[in-house]
Structure 1
Amino acid sequence: MKKIALMALGLTGVLASCGGAGVNDNLPPTTNYTLSHDVRIAGTDKVITSGHYVICDDRETKVTTNVQWLPGTQYLELWARGTETRKEFKLATYKVANINQGGQAAIPFTFGKDVLAPLSIVVNPAPNLPNVNVIGYTNLGIRAVDASGNTVMNPAYSQYVFPVMQSCTTL
């Protein structure tokens, strides 16, 4: 009987520490800035279309990321990754209200001014539109941390990529 109780206690500990999380790409992340017109990256055929959400390096940008998590998750860490450099950095940590339940939420975060290092990618819009500079591209991810403080997984990144605009004065 003692062995069964110990095994049950051990299994409870394993189950409680499972956790896991991901970005909900069915509800892509958004920002408070969007392109009002199409722009083209100089020297390429790549076009960033009107309505695309962007991060502005010259001002605060509010980003909302939709995430979901499994039972056993104590904290959610919001991460950013440069898609060119593959460099990752943790933006914020959020405590989950009930570790025994999974859930979903829209997590807010505000990028400050001059947060991301420039890559100096010049973007030329279609004729008669002002030039804009893209200093890089980033996507956001989420990582789960269990009650013991152990990371459950590497950050799971959204498929949505934000252009980081040097200045949003022409949007």
Structure 2
Amino acid sequence: MASVSRRALGVALLAIAGLLFTQPFVLRSTPTIGDELPTIADPGSPVGLLAPALVAAGAVVLVSGVAATRGRPLAPRWSLAAPAVSVAVGVALGVDAPAAVVSDPALAVSGTTTFVVAGSVVGASLAPVTLGATKGDTVALLAGVVLLLAGVFAAPMPALALVVGLGGGGAAVGLLWALDAETWRP
């Protein structure tokens, strides 16, 4: 396999992160025909379970992509930014601006926001846990575990948030383990 420059890998990772972040917004704006199709507003539906997984994966890939674009491997303590990114995107996903009146400052927050944020924090917390464990950074490891547990306890459906978050974050770490071995492998 040919060696790809670190910065080019970072640009590719940023593109993947952008793709992962846009998918929940596309799913949210998909028109539903009656009650036949599940929407992102139902966290128990398969479509509703995709949002936290995609946000968690996007946050982990984004943080790693930014570090790679700068030409450096992701430091374990900088990986703690992934849960913060997932909170910001999860809240942005849950904010509904009324389409009829754009100038109206009243914004409504969707009821699934807590599930999406909590699930994505669980998944994004895998980045500091993994890097802290493989690189020997105890502070990042413990902070990641605390964030993971906080996400589980804050979720309205803790078991689903744990499974979905770990699925999304684990898939992102697995992808980065293969693509960015310098950062993610011990």
Do they superpose with TM above 0.5? no
Structure ranking higher on relative contact order (CA contacts 8 Å, 6+ apart): 1
Structure with higher helix content: 2
Q: TM-score, normalised by structure 2?
A: 0.27
Q: TM-score, normalised by structure 1?
A: 0.29
Structure with higher strand content: 1
